[in-house]
A and B are shown apart, each in its own frame.
Chain A
Amino acid sequence: MTKKSALFLLLIFVLALAACGGGGSDEAIKVGAVFDLTGPTSDVGTPYSEGITGFVAWYNENGGVDGRQLELLSADYAYAVDQAEQLYSQYVGEGAVVFQGWGTGDTEALRSRVAADEVPFMSASYSDVLGDPNEAPYNFLIGTGYGAQAVTAVQRGLDAGATHFAIFHHDSPFGQSPVAMATAYAEANGATMDVFPMPKGATDYTAELTQAQDAGIEYILIQNVSSPAATLVKNVKDFGMDVQVVCLNWCTDELFTSLAGDAAEGVLGASPFAFPGSGAPGLEEMDAYLKANGSSLEEKGLRYVAGWLTMKVMTAGIEKVVADGKEVTGPNIKAALETMGAYDTGGITQPITFSATDHAGNKAVQFFEVQGGKWTAVSDLIAVP
């Protein structure tokens, strides 16, 4: 054999190897993710991220997708948008077919990019606009949209005979997200809605509450994270106001009850997800996994449930692609999520249903009430009116 032909054979061999590497069916499926472990939202970002990593570990132990493992490419981005962009391009460049984001900042910043790159994207930011495929074709919502949550809470107030509503919100796009929908719904039903932005870093909301009392407010919705929400309900208690307070998604958690203490008693929470200990069968696998690893779901809390479930629904889309014998790509996973029908979450949420015209998969919330320092279910899952 001449030197030249030997080289030629070697080249073919190398190319064949490369081809095998690219199309092998036992290759891991790569999932990109950014977590907030050190940034301003790390208190809730950490358990959420543990839910995602926990699910991937549990799922791989149980055989993965038809023998193929999930490979999680993830890092902390400290809630910095440019960090999220770097990590996103790095992981997608390394072959991540789907992506798990976290907050409003990164979800919005990557929205145009995931559509251009055709990477299905889920996060814990539940802006209603993300559920509209015309606006955000590759974003999928697992939690109920903020506006939809607020509307359901208003309906609960209307049922209880309230006519004067107020919404206290985080002074940001995240906080303003449900305001327009909630106001429109209240006014369409003959009620009023006052809007109070909660200034950044405020330690007291007595001024706003005085105004609310003068306006005869009976029902207060809070669209904010736990620590300012806890301050607000403490003020409500000190002020002796006779109002029903309803926390939306981001203050309905264990952090809120521990921060607000006694003042939290009787506060309602609207949550798309069932609390640990509520007996939903879907929670058992998480608890079993955590107990086997020296922890428990009680300890990790509601945000862990949300992280686990979000990753689980995304994996269901991947499973369908593999079961249909198609190649695992972004557009195929998007199509699978849109066509897989109602996905049963074991009672944690309403069955999650996506379609080609609607990516708001979850359209129900459950109401919980703080009783004896614990969130206790006071309703079944209620469909968004």
Chain B
Amino acid sequence: MRAPPSCVEITSNLSWNVAEEELGHRPGDPINIGWMCSDRICQLGLANKLALLWEDYQGNKKQFTYDEVRILSNTIASFLCKLGIRPQERVCLFLDRVPELYIGFLGILKMGAVAQPLFSAFGDESLMVRLADAGTCAILTQKKHLYKVRKIRDLLPNLRHVIVVDAASTSLQQHEIAFAMEGVPPVEHFKVYPTMAESPSVLHYTSGTTGQPKGAQHVHYSIIAQYLTAKWALDLRSDDIYWCNADPGWVTGTSYGIIGPWSNGITQVVLDSGFNAVKWYEFIEEYRVTVWYSAPTAIRLLMKEGGEVAQKHNLSSLRHLASVGEPLNPEAILWSQEVFGRPFHDTFWQTETGCIVISNLPGITIKPGSMGKPFPGITATVLDPKTYEPVNRAGVAGLIALRPGWPSQIRSYWNNPAGFEAKFKNGWYLCGDRASIDRDGYFWFMGRDDDVINTGGHLVGPFEVESALLECPAVAESAAVAKPDPVNMEVVKAFVTLKRGFQPSDDLELDIMNHIRKRLSPLAMPQEIEFVNSLPKTRSGKIVRRILRCKEFNEPVGDLSTIMED
């Protein structure tokens, strides 16, 4: 008997039609992610299969079958409809990793609205900017985050409903509504809104070099790519117990923390807890996790705690490990091989791609430190930064570029089509990263091609940080740049000039850090603040972050002819 083909063999002949066939989707028919991830799975005979095993840091546990996910997402969808929310309106999920986040995501999609998940650690300014841009009509949140919403409520005329999922003992204000997902009559049957392939589905905000964050507009057809890449790049199989560390406030947490596993009918586990190495290993051991999708920052934190902590636990259930967010350093891969007996498989993609586009597929020979190869069905290359033509020479750096047209590519930036158009050159989509390709076709990440800071796998826009820095009474001018970091790859560093009458001090540094942490988020908080007398500027007065960044990375600063002498 011939051995089953390896994943590499299977994917070499890939057409996205494979996913359409497996999901039972015919071009021109309605397609709805919420239905695909719940009702369809039940119709396949998996109604009683566990969809979600959830636990929080206090050890509270819940579990939901696919049928319960179907009914509860119906219940949420029906509730939103009764509020008068209409298809294509934006509904924000501003929740910790509680079950309402995962199931609410499907409910929003089922009634045709657009899900707008936002990281619950965002401060009021970060929240306000994103809700205002999207014209969000409703927000689902928890009482612990309500004070942030209340602070900005008057600035958001489109926000009609604030829905609190755990409001039991909280006194609510006007336009705030209590909604207990499991405390209201369940809705067995709900007529799912017939969204089409190009109907908007999810709005994820991502940071750029200039201006405020941009809303990346996904469509329901994205599930075609998310389903197949979850199955093949993450190697998900019917009997797997899958754990994705990512928060659904970010794209990994929706593409591979909800849509990918649930469209494949997989049982997934969620730990609503901050980092704790022992707790994480106990979690893997208790739930017998088989596939683990994590991030380099988390892996490096585990390395910092030491391999002996891992070896106290039975982690033999682990079958496949993958990583995303930033380049996975060779040491982390070798460590994982030693401690878990298998390597992490690096994957590369971004908010705008919606799915994994370059990866180390199961079965591929891993070259530690490499991003892997393009997922079949994706045409990727590196372009010369001046001509935007493919470099076509092994080992020569260029801009990572993809041929447009894969199913989960975003269709535009919300309210910013010009910003989206600017991402294309010469018929290629530019990812904003630099890499080289070796003779075997492996991609090797070299860094960002812009001023965006990749910290712990999350992109932070310098403009947003600088704007918040200028709110501090002492700050006259500011520049936020990336600084290398052994755990997070990069962290935010701020250069600051002070107004007359203010002096640099440890107290001032701490005050500024805490201001940014509360106003934006812990991710955006500068891990270091350097007080300087002046910032490098062009002759037209524009601050040149490039010089500051190069100094942090010990790189040559290049052409300084346009820089104003101080």
Chains A and B are bound partners: no
